[in-house]
Structure 1
Amino acid sequence: MIWNTMMGTSILSIPWGIKQAGFTSGITLILLMGILTLYCCYRVVKSRKMIPLIDTSSWEFPDVCKYYFGSFGQWSSLLFSMVSLVGAMVVYWVLMSNFLFNTGKFIYNFVHDINVTDIVPGTNGSNKVICPSAARGHPPQNSSVMLSSGNNTGFELFEEWWNKSETVPLYLIAVLLPLLNLKSPSFFAKFNVLGTVSVVYLVFLVTVKAAHLGIHLEYNWFTENDFFVPEFRLLFPQLTGVLTLAFFIHNCVITLLQNNRNQENNVRDLSIAYFLVGLTYLYVGVIIFASFPSPPLSKECIEQNFLDNFPSDDIMSFVARIFLLFQMMTVYPLLGYLARVQLLRQFFGDAYPSIFHVLILNVAIVGAGVAMARFYPNIGGIIRYSGATCGLAFVFVYPSLIYVIALHRAGQLTWPALIIHIFIILLGLANLIAQFLL
């Protein structure tokens, strides 16, 4: 359950993050961030047990924050929790727009038997890999394509009404906004298995593509050229920002572990879940990076969503986008429900005070998703900013501060423990600041 919950959209950006950090430092950062976030998550799980003389069995982590920091802890934990939820929903909207656009394009071209030759540079053969970043700034696609038919009027009309950033994000409103207004999204929770299926299929896709493409690695520690990036890059904080959200489960881990039949196994199960998540990220990130054909392309071509490196007419990528689209369309209402419960219950004492309150909240959330899909469809950027922001509180600051305060009140605080946890807090702060500097 924890593995399935933690595995999300971040997996699509891990290869891009490795590219930004450098191959060796990228692998190292995934391992270190996995260990660090696991330790901080362990501190969250144990935080209730360190409160004496109070029954905390029904408490969530925000309740623990309120106990130690008063109303500031209560409201700040709510703020950062909303940042993580809304940030995830914005990423989902951008990705759903992407998947819906490519799915519609594949179906249209297949039905009309259209062969399209893009200006996008790429490799040749059945396992084609493209470099969309190399074509940015060129004229629109419908002015630079070759069709199998001499009459391209219908295709141009399709391109006008089926635009990735201008029209497709709006079409999703008709489906998802009504679903957000449902009082209970329990129906969508039944489709949770789609998340597991999607991740398993992505691993399968990565394996098959790598087997066909082969390994393309040029080792160099510091010098960049057209065909490889160095083993270490100063842009590595972009990967740490992505990883903060990729390993983020701290605001709901207590709830998830409460369902364990044997509570004494919580730490073991949490460790196994983090190990599996880290292994999945490592496998997908390393295999995509290593097999990306460089030459003839450059590793710099690896996109923030690695599926964008495969053309829309690629069958395996088409199936992956279908899986992910349906998964996200079922998870999105669940995220909206969590955001509604946390925010409206805090302000109005009721998760559904009226359809008017719920509609205003949902319109604001959907509007944020549409705006990002239209003007800033960079999922890597959205993930790292939201991850570093919410991670500062829930991953680095609150678990460490609460542990230090609890030790101090119990008279057990030592200098090594104090120094280590202050260092963790400073790492979280540096992680957030670095996102806005790079």
Structure 2
Amino acid sequence: MIFYSSVTMRDLIRKYKLIIQGKHLPDTDSELLISSTSSPGNNYNMDVGNPRLFQQGYSSTESEDDNPEKTSTVTSQQYKPKKEHVLSRSYNNSLNMDNHNNALYDVLQHSSLNEIISETTKLLPSKNKMSDSVQQCKNVSNDIKEHYNHSLVTIFAIWNTTVGTSLLAMAWGMEKTGLFPGILINLFVVAVCLYTAYVLLKIFEKHGGDGIKEVPDLCRLLIGRWAEIVSKIFSLVVLMGGDIVYWILMSNFLYNCVVFVYDNITDIGSKQIIEDSILCPKKPFLLANETHLVQTATNGSLFYQIWQLYSTVPIFLAVLLFPLLNFKSPTFFTKFNSLGTLSVAYLFIFVSVKSFQWGINISDWSIEFSVKPTFCVLSGMLGMSYFIHNIIISIMKQNKHQNHNGRDLSIAFGLVCFTYLFLGVVFYTTFPLAKSCIEDNLLNNFSKKDVMALIARILLFFQLFTVYPFVTYMLRADILTAISMIFGKERNKEFSYIKTIIINFSFVFICILFACFMPRIGTLIRYTGALSGLIYIFVMPSLLKMASLKQEGALSIPAIIIHVIIIILGILNLISQFFITD
């Protein structure tokens, strides 16, 4: 099969110049730009998505239009490709080209688009009408380059994606562990998560390619079909767990915001509760009797009979949110991603202001050095807090400087760890009541009349209100993909309003059940984190690493021991969650 005639790059550009100027080519050069299928018997399908340096034949230019007599013979008789093909290096061994064609192929493949354009431009007259086309090619090249992100953008993307609802429960996790053991466990878990995320990137760097885009693809390639299925299932578990936690929090925020408005309109409870009172929902009598009096005074009204946090509010939320779940594409909601950064920034300010007002409130520092029996609550929760392993490859592929992936990933995880530790440690050390009063949603420790807490609830509510449809869309798409993969029917992935409504109704129904009967986000986060973290943080990266080393013949005993220990830690972390009561 002949791709192009045996000419050097300089001859190729010279003849391209002759075509542009409307001059006839010698007969020996007439097939210079012919597609690979012009020769009989060549039926290779080369269209694999690579940049098209040469389309079939050559496209008409203004110079050709000005000289129809000169170009008609060439275009009508000599340039009749049957099918368009694209240069692809993956087919290089099967093309059976001569040495000259191989050399030319390498020049084209390893020369950037800008270099070819630059060489062509030097040979063209300064006022040639092809300059506009050349400029358009340069613009396309620039657009391709702009697709990649600088390190700062990549770091922020990882931080913004990783920091989630665990932020509200971090002080609760510290209380279950002890201050200093909690800090050490945080550092240990983030180190393990960083290592396993980096392992996934290095494995993808070695084995990634056509058809290998995500962790499940790597699992299928290196471990087997079963590993791909398991990884996809537990990716769904993470999304479903996130949806449930979001629903519980949105119900909580909606309830408190509406109660605040109602109390201010009706002037109920204004005398009983001061504006910045601190609550201990587990032990209400630790405070003055005003809190209890408000509850008894308001619970008898019709409003509070209808507006109940653990029965009616989750259903009212479904009425508001369900119509937004049935869009064909959730791209509209991605425009509100900045709300996540704004919410985290405000929580920093909120906790800092409250902590400054309270001061340090630890009576016996020696107690904070001892590990509590419930320390596994924090380790399970951190499996969800630092979970980004299912999409880390997609994020880091867009990094402009791939050689900085390790550095950027380390900085991002360091920032995430600092974010969690700051809110957890500062709130825990300054909380003025008994540490056992700290809630898994720290905003529950503040009265509905607290204005700063109200602002935090409003920001978080609108953030989750825009995030939930997007997460649900991904969950629905993954489920439909899994169904089509199992049953082999591609039409299952096609959009259908009936299918969409049924699946979304199932999701919402499950979320309502949890919001009514198990509204404890700390418990949900630690179980989800321990379960999904076992697969994505501990097991799969370790198995992939050992499988890759085995392929290279470099698998050693120390490597086996290290990665088996990581797997055992993940298993113990999951098992321990069943022996702890909140």
Tell me whether the two structures share a fold, i.e. TM-score over 0.5: yes
Residue aligning to 1:308: 444
1:208 aligns to 2:362 (yes or no): no
CA drift at 1:46: 1.5
CA drift at 1:362: 1.2
Residue aligning to 1:355: 497
Deviations 1:272-313 (A, max 9, x none): 1111110010000001100111xxx31100001011001111
How far apart in 1 are the matches of 2:569 and 2:310?
36
How far apart in 2 are the matches of 1:244 and 1:367?
26
Change (3 A) 1:263 1:403: same
Change (3 A) 1:117 1:254: farther
1:333 aligns to 2:469 (yes or no): yes
1:7 aligns to 2:175 (yes or no): no
1:26 aligns to 2:26 (yes or no): no
CA drift at 1:414: 1.7
Residue aligning to 2:578: 436
Moved more, 394-403 or 409-418: 409-418
Residue aligning to 1:226: none
Deviations 1:193-239 (A, max 9, x none): 000000000010000000001111133556xxxxxx77310100000
How far apart in 2 are the matches of 1:434 and 1:325?
32
Q: How does 1:373-384 map to 2 (within 5 A)?
A: 373-384=515-526
Residue aligning to 2:370: 231
Residue aligning to 1:320: 456
Q: What letter matches 2:431 in structure 1?
A: F
Q: What letter matches 2:477 in structure 1?
A: V
Match of 1:249 among 388, 400, 410: 388
Q: What letter matches 2:405 in structure 1?
A: N
Change (3 A) 1:65 1:37: same
How far apart in 2 are the matches of 1:144 and 1:113?
15
How far apart in 2 are the matches of 1:218 and 1:426?
38
How far apart in 1 are the matches of 2:295 and 2:434?
26
Larger radius of gyration: 2
Q: How does 1:70-109 map to 2 (within 5 A)?
A: 70-109=224-263
Q: What letter matches 1:175 in structure 2?
A: L
Residue aligning to 1:225: none
Asked whether the 8 Å contact 1:49–1:56 carries over to 2, the reply is no
1:36 aligns to 2:181 (yes or no): no
CA drift at 1:175: 2.1
Deviations 1:50-105 (A, max 9, x none): 32xx7258511111111123321121111100100000000000000000001111
How far apart in 2 are the matches of 1:242 and 1:76?
21
Moved more, 174-183 or 419-428: 174-183
Residue aligning to 2:561: 419
CA drift at 1:167: 0.7
Deviations 1:129-166 (A, max 9, x none): 11001149xxxx9994289xxxx789711111111111
Moved more, 57-66 or 239-248: 57-66
Asked whether the 8 Å contact 1:2–1:256 carries over to 2, the reply is yes
How far apart in 2 are the matches of 1:254 and 1:111?
51
1:167 aligns to 2:312 (yes or no): yes
Q: How high is the TM-score relative to the length of structure 2? A: 0.68
1:262 aligns to 2:401 (yes or no): yes
Residue aligning to 1:128: 277
Partner SS, residue 251 of structure 2: helix
Q: How high is the TM-score relative to the length of structure 1? A: 0.90
How far apart in 2 are the matches of 1:48 and 1:2?
18
Change (3 A) 1:144 1:251: same
Identity of aligned residues (%): 41
Change (3 A) 1:153 1:298: closer
Q: What letter matches 2:255 in structure 1?
A: F
Change (3 A) 1:117 1:306: farther
Asked whether the 8 Å contact 1:20–1:233 carries over to 2, the reply is yes
How far apart in 2 are the matches of 1:135 and 1:270?
44
Change (3 A) 1:286 1:154: closer
The number of residues matched between the two structures is 414
Ranges in structure 2 where 5+ consecutive residues have no aligned partner: 1-156, 485-489
Change (3 A) 1:128 1:153: closer
Residue aligning to 2:206: 50
How far apart in 2 are the matches of 1:114 and 1:165?
22
Asked whether the 8 Å contact 2:223–2:544 carries over to 1, the reply is no
Q: How does 1:133-148 map to 2 (within 5 A)?
A: 133-135=282-284, 144-145=293-294
Moved more, 347-356 or 10-19: 347-356
Q: What letter matches 2:305 in structure 1?
A: E
CA drift at 1:106: 0.8
Residue aligning to 2:266: 112
Match of 1:291 among 430, 434, 439: 430
Partner SS, residue 133 of structure 1: coil
Match of 2:542 among 400, 403, 421: 400
Asked whether the 8 Å contact 1:170–1:370 carries over to 2, the reply is yes
Asked whether the 8 Å contact 1:103–1:318 carries over to 2, the reply is yes
CA drift at 1:28: 0.8
Residue aligning to 1:187: 332
CA drift at 1:353: 4.0
Partner SS, residue 342 of structure 1: helix
Asked whether the 8 Å contact 2:284–2:292 carries over to 1, the reply is no
Asked whether the 8 Å contact 1:12–1:307 carries over to 2, the reply is yes
Q: What letter matches 1:133 in structure 2?
A: K
Asked whether the 8 Å contact 2:275–2:449 carries over to 1, the reply is no
How far apart in 2 are the matches of 1:273 and 1:233?
30
Residue aligning to 2:217: 63
Asked whether the 8 Å contact 2:204–2:393 carries over to 1, the reply is no
How far apart in 2 are the matches of 1:262 and 1:371?
46
How far apart in 2 are the matches of 1:240 and 1:298?
23
1:386 aligns to 2:540 (yes or no): no
Ranges in structure 1 where 5+ consecutive residues have no aligned partner: 119-123, 223-228
